[in-house]
Copies of this chain bind each other. A is one copy, B any other.
Amino acid sequence: MRIGELSARTGVPAATIKYYVREGLLSGGERRGHNQVEYGEEHVRRLRLVRAMVEVGSVPIAKVREVLTEIEDPRRDLDSTLGVASRALSQHKVPAEEPAAVDVETAKAIVRGRGWNAVPLEHGYVWTLADAIGRLRELGLGDMVDMTGEYARAAEIVAEFDLALLQMRSDRDEILEAMVVGTVLGDAIFEALRRIAQVEVSSRVYPPAQRESVQDEEDSSTGE
């Protein structure tokens, strides 16, 4: 197909497609004579993958390229790619400073308390967890730390489904793509569901008279 059709099928403007090709996010089409370039189904698919990262995950172009490079590197094994992509797509930074020992201990206790014995306790995300716990403590919100056990239970439900999805695929490229999409769209879906659930749960907590104003507020912002 020509670039016009590729643009129509993916909703990505032709100028943006050319920009993605220049930036190395998309291979160029096949040249078929003067001023005629042919694109295929693989371009449609790749563009949708790039769009999911850029539009839904707000992933910067440089990060998108990094993730795609990882995906396409045939020397990498599947599970190390999982780690690299998951970190590249993370919305939250790994803390710059070492968290306080007391918070690292709490984080480790949460991980082991959940029966997660295969996870190395030096894992970068254990630090991220410890850092967030330390900030709660500093803000005098230490009681929020108690909730992380429930968060861990919910996280396990989500992770089991993340992995089940990968297992449903056998082709390497399919698995990697599902991983990236699952991380970006899975985060967006979970965030949306959490906010929706908050509205639901708060309707049980707050009296109906007050609830009206929340609904008005939410309604008026639809399509913001």
> Closest Cβ of chain B: how far from A119's Cβ, in Å?
5
> What is the 8 Å Cβ interface bit string for chain A, positions 114-130, against chain B (1 contact, 0 not)?
10111110111111110
Q: How far is the CA of A197 from the CA of B151 in the complex (A)?
A: 11
For A163, the chain B residues whose CB sits under 8 A away are: 198, 201-202, 205
Say how far A188's CB is from chain B's closest CB, in angstroms. Answer: 5
Q: How far is the CA of A45 from the CA of B215 in the complex (A)?
A: 31
Is A135 a contact partner of B202 (Cβ separation < 8 A)? no
User: How many copies altogether?
Assistant: 2
**A133-147 vs B: 1/0 string, CB under 8 Å?**
101101111011001
Chain A residues proximal to chain B, CB less than 8 Å: 45, 48-49, 51-52, 55-58, 77-80, 82-84, 86-87, 90-94, 98, 110-111, 114, 116-120, 122-129, 131-133, 135-136, 138-141, 143-144, 147-148, 150-168, 177-178, 181-182, 185-206, 210-211, 213-219, 221-224
On chain B, the residues within 8 Å of A143 by CB distance are: 165, 168
Q: Which residues of B contact A186 (CB under 8 A)?
A: 144, 151
